[in-house]
Structure 1
Amino acid sequence: MKIETNRLLIKTFEKHHLNDVYEIYNDDSTCQYLLHDKWTHENKEREFDKKLNNNQLTKENALSLAVLMDDKVIGDLSVWYTDMKDTVEIGYTFSKSVSGKGYATEAVIALINHLFEVVKVHRIQANLDARNIASEKLCRRVGMRKEAHFIQDFWNKNEWTDSIVFGMLKTDFNKFNSEKENY
């Protein structure tokens, strides 16, 4: 699978992407709101193999995608089906070195478009740690709506955390795109 944007190439991971991905995940602040701790030299190959194996979206298997700029991995997109019919959840992580340049927005919009137009999903959602303000802002920038805020509903890294859920239907995305074109 390949998705191209003006500046980015989004595709399944390849073995030679390991060190680029390690640079992203070998950072405490990047992993602060993720479900896992930062990658170490000892576990990087095992963790990366999971991304290599997640190379096709099925009901049983998540999809992990590399976001490349000039042949360097700058981000990681994930998609998996939820228990609800034709509904997927997305996740994303980007290198701090590209923060503020619009790459995450560009990549996530392209992924959302692909999921609605090619995969034909009914609904896309994102579930995030409520303290992750950057992720919340990204959800809003791509046209998702905040649908829920759960108080201390998730135990992660030895603490209870709040979760927020963003969602989007194809009609929301179409409206978002038409409003974007009118600027």
Structure 2
Amino acid sequence: MAFAPLHTARLVLRPFTEADAEDFAARRSDPETAMYQAWRVPYSVEKALELIRESARHEGPMPGHWYQLDVQRLADDRTVGDVAVYLHDHGHTAEIGYTLHTWARRKGYATEAAAALIDHLVDVTGVHRIEAATHPDNRRSIQVLERLGFVAEGVKREAFWVEDEVSDDAIFGLLARDWTANRAALGL
């Protein structure tokens, strides 16, 4: 069964299509966006198509694979960014990530989109734990995670490689029971 789009008050999260490749490549080619990510700029349309086609091979989050979703504003169908989920092989733990266009930041879109994805992972997929990792200096991403109720669990020293450069990796975790208990209090 194909992945059904997820709707929030302002957004829709839907599987990528090949028509999204240029926008995806442009977002990933932005140096500010790529600063704390696992890719180098420029990010080619061909590389975007490869990632989109890989994600399209799955009908939703599958153990052992990343699954990407395009995030669009309902008001005008404009893409604000994307969210991604990696379901670990055993299916009990998922890792999430998000990337927004620079113009779409500081509007609550990352929090809103990630919350919808977490809802799906907990309520539909049945994961027990959601993880996220970011560069310790990526304050904006850390603020999103904190708003969602993630707990800082530590820093893995020199654990994140992008080609031949290494950096630390700040690790955050959220348990499904904590999400379920606190989701209403978070105002999400």
| TM-score, scaled to structure 2 | 0.87
Q: Could you report, residue by residue, the CA deviation over 1:103-152 in whole angstroms, capped at 9, with x for unpaired residues?
A: 11110011101100011111100011112111111110111111111222
Distance of 1:155 and 1:15 partners within structure 2:
28
Q: What is the CA distance between 1:53 and its match in structure 2?
A: 2.4
List gaps (5 residues or longer) in structure 2.
none
Distance of 1:77 and 1:67 partners within structure 2:
7
CA contact (8 A) 1:52 1:64 kept: no
Q: CA RMSD in A?
A: 1.7
Distance of 2:117 and 2:163 partners within structure 1:
29
Does 1:148 find its partner at 2:151? no
The 5 A counterparts of 1:21-100 are 21-40=24-43, 43-55=44-56, 56-69=60-73, 70-83=76-89, 85-100=91-106
List gaps (5 residues or longer) in structure 1.
none
SS for the counterpart of 1:100 is coil
Q: Taking structure 1 as reference, are residues 15 and 163 closer, same or farther at Cα in structure 2, changes over 3 Å only?
A: same
Q: Taking structure 1 as reference, are residues 39 and 51 closer, same or farther at Cα in structure 2, changes over 3 Å only?
A: farther
CA contact (8 A) 2:38 2:162 kept: yes
The 5 A counterparts of 1:144-183 are 144-181=150-187
CA contact (8 A) 2:28 2:34 kept: yes
CA contact (8 A) 1:75 1:94 kept: yes
CA contact (8 A) 1:130 1:164 kept: yes
| TM-score, scaled to structure 1 | 0.89
Q: Could you report, residue by residue, the CA deviation over 1:34-84 in whole angstroms, capped at 9, with x for unpaired residues?
A: 0111234xx322333312321332123321100011222211111112355
Q: Where does structure 1 differ by over 3 angstroms across 4 or more consecutive aligned residues?
A: none
